[in-house]
Amino acid sequence: MSEKEKKNSFLKKSVKRFWGLTLKELQVLLKDRIAMIITFSIPIIVIIILVVGPGGIEDLISSEPGFTGRGAPPSEPPIIGLIDQDQTILSSEFVNLTLDYEKTGYTHLILSGDQNELEILLGKNKIDAIVIIPALFEYNLSIHFPAILTVEFDTIDYAALQNTQALVASLVNEFKYLHKFTGVFNVQYHREGLPEKGRLIFLGSPMFFPLCMFAIAALIACQTIVSDIPKDRMVLTPTNKYEILAAKLVAHQALMSLLIIIMMILSVSFGLEIRGGQGRFFTYFFILFMVALSGVVWGLFMSVIAKVPLNALQFFIFLFLFWVIAGFFVENPVILALSPLDNGEKLLMNICMRGESIWWNMKYFGYLGLQIGVLYILAQLIFNRKKTML
């Protein structure tokens, strides 16, 4: 047998072993009925909650409490675009009040006379809201006729919207308080970026879908090596640890891919609008696929370093809580770049909710890909060094 024939024979046997190991892993996963029920029920429950959940975005941006003080400046001041179309003394006083808010750290202000320019920035998530002081603003107030102040919010980023709405409400109510305006002052709020149907699932999906995919993938994978006794007998055969780990990765990711497809079908059937032109469904799938793959690799890594199954579960709880808490309270860009949840949320929000170009968001794919590669290599190196129980 020639050297080439030996290599081809070895490759065929390796592929056959790998395929057999992958099928074996899938069978083990699917036989665990409790795990499968939990795996497939969690995304369905999340979707149902987002569809029939109480409240809505209208309640958030329509509230306008009385002025009780500015309070403490936000950690991330909203960026406000301001247009003065009236150019009068009273409108100038509103502008000066807004400038005072900027000086004291409550907001970043962009003064402009071009509404189209600000609306483009709003659509690209460069600013959080546009405040328009219309013509005849001062005249209408002088004759006790309702003066309408127009505010356009970027409502796709739900977390930023809350800070922005609170800031605008404080600004408007302080101006009314200083000048004793009550019934002659009216504010019109406009929602930008929201679809007509399925608004809650549209807003909630960037945060909750990556969370579900990562948690389920990491939870299942964190038990796959530390709990797998037959692997110690398999390494006595021609099968090696490279094939074992790769088979586990492929099997878990295949299961997660099926889960992503089911979630996408249910979400779209319940009114989720996915933007981004042609290929938007594939893009949506690929983003969740990358987040799930990150979860699988994290799970494999935890399973490799764990000595008993309980350790792997403890590692998972710590990791999951860390990334969730980091997403809410950590502002360090380095830590957020390492978070698969934050990267997945930004990719879904920017590409699939706003319709931005994929190329504008390649860095988030890069963060996910780099993390997946490094963790998998570390998991393989540690797995290779682990002693086999005979």
pTM of the model: 0.77
> Counting Cβ atoms within 10 Å, is residue 245 exposed (0-12), middle (13-18) or buried (19+)?
buried
Q: Is the CB of residue 129 less than 8 Å from the CB of residue 164? A: yes
Cα–Cα distance measured from residue 19 to residue 214, given in angstroms and rounded to the nearest whole number: 25
Q: Report pLDDT for 191.
A: 66
* Residues forming a β-bridge with 188: 150
Could you say which residues of the chain have pLDDT below 70? 1-10, 53-68, 158-159, 182-185, 191-194, 196, 229-239, 387-390
Q: Report pLDDT for 239.
A: 65
Find tokens 């070895």 and name the residue.
10
pLDDT (tens digit per residue) in 348-373? 988 998 888 899 899 999 999 999 99
Q: Is the CB of residue 182 less than 8 Å from the CB of residue 93? A: no
Terminal CA-to-CA distance of the chain, rounded, Å? 35
Q: Report pLDDT for 285.
A: 97
Q: Is the CB of residue 214 less than 8 Å from the CB of residue 260? A: no
3-state DSSP assignment of residue 149: strand
Q: Report pLDDT for 390.
A: 37
Q: Report pLDDT for 213.
A: 96
Structural domains present in the chain: 3-53+198-385 (no CATH), 63-192 (3.40.1710.10)
Q: Report pLDDT for 192.
A: 64
